[in-house]
Amino acid sequence: MKASRYLFPSDYMADPSAHVFEDKIYIYPSHDWESGIPENDNGDHFNMRDYHVFSMNDPEAEVVDHGVALSTDDIPWAGRQLWDSDVAYKDGKYYMYFPLKDQNDIFRMGVAVSDRPEGPFVPQANPMKGSYSIDPCVFEDNGAYYMYFGGIWGGQLQFYRDNKLTPPCELPHFHEPALCPKIVKLQDNMLEFAEAPRDVLLLDEEGNPLKQGDTERRFFEASWVHKYGGKYYFSYSTGDTHLLCYAIGDNPYGPFTYQGVIMTPVVGWTTHHSILEFKNKWYLFYHDAVPSGGKTWLRSMKMVELEYDEQGLIKTIAGQ
């Protein structure tokens, strides 16, 4: 296994969403900084305010910082906390999807649009109707675009049942099925939901939904989807147990059956990633907190080559 690489050591960037656009790798991370807010389980200390966009001609090349592509100052409905984003391309336009708390401190999804992959991105005046929680991943399949989203604890997924904010806003008990990540098809204009969000069901090897108490396998946050060998790979973070895991299904909606661990824990509390193919090789983008001395809110983005075995299973990478 090749060694991992820090991509931009001069600043703290996390949650890297990587894509191939215009034959280059573009990376869309969140931007950590020392906010001075005390650390807590709601993530208030992750008070990010803008996004930078990065590009590289190939996995060994210099990483170019294209500067600020979107800021909370640009967004009419902004409250606080501009967390991780994702970007999709359609018909000559690039669409950035981002979670942001509105002025009532509730996470919504916004959309911003650009003619170029590096931005700048111009936000829509309002959040996407019916959107909630965090961690958007937009996946294209046969011309249709789907958004996966959701994150518990600070990501507020536990506030919702059947897409409605439903008190008492608590997690299921340990013996109950875990909360599911969500999937929703996007309209052709890429700005709105085409349907109500649905559950993405994650199953164990016997076909049973993963339980909330199964903390080393159940979903916490950080959805990502890619295709390999005709199968759909749904990967995600287990959050408080610090693993990157994956499950495999036969269509974008799932269900997905748990397969194993992509990466064991790294230094730092959260694990958030993306996976892409570039010139017939696969890469995992992620972050750790080594450069900041283990400060979990000051993370640095990295990448490492990812490999599959003959059965199409991902070879586990030791956190590095």
Question: Which residue among 84, 86, 135, 221 is the active-site one?
Answer: 221
Q: Does the active-site annotation cover 118?
A: no
Q: In the structure encoding, which two tokens stand for residue 27, read together?
A: 């990376």
Q: How far apart are CA 22 and CA 70, in angstroms?
A: 21
Whether residue 168 is preceded by a cis peptide bond, meaning omega within 30 degrees of 0, is yes
Q: Alpha-carbon Rg of the chain, whole angstroms?
A: 18
CA 192 to the chain's CA centroid: 19
Beta bridge partners of 25: 20, 56
User: Rounded to an integer, what distance in angstroms lies between the CA atom of residue 287 and that of residue 28?
Assistant: 13
Q: Which of 34, 167, 13 is nearest to 85 (CA)?
A: 13
Q: State the Cα angle at 190 between 109 and 220, rounded to 5°.
A: 40
Q: Which residues pair with 307 in a beta bridge?
A: none
Considering the candidates 11, 15, 86, 204, report the single residue annotated as catalytic: 15
Catalytic, 91? Answer: no
For residues 302 and 9, give the distance between their C-alpha atoms in angstroms, rounded to a whole number. 9
Which amino acid is it at 109?
A: M
Burial group, residue 196, by CB count within 10 angstroms (0-12, 13-18, 19+): exposed
Measured CA to CA in angstroms, residue 105 lies from 6, 234, 266 at distances of 33, 29, 30
* Catalytic center residues: 15, 221
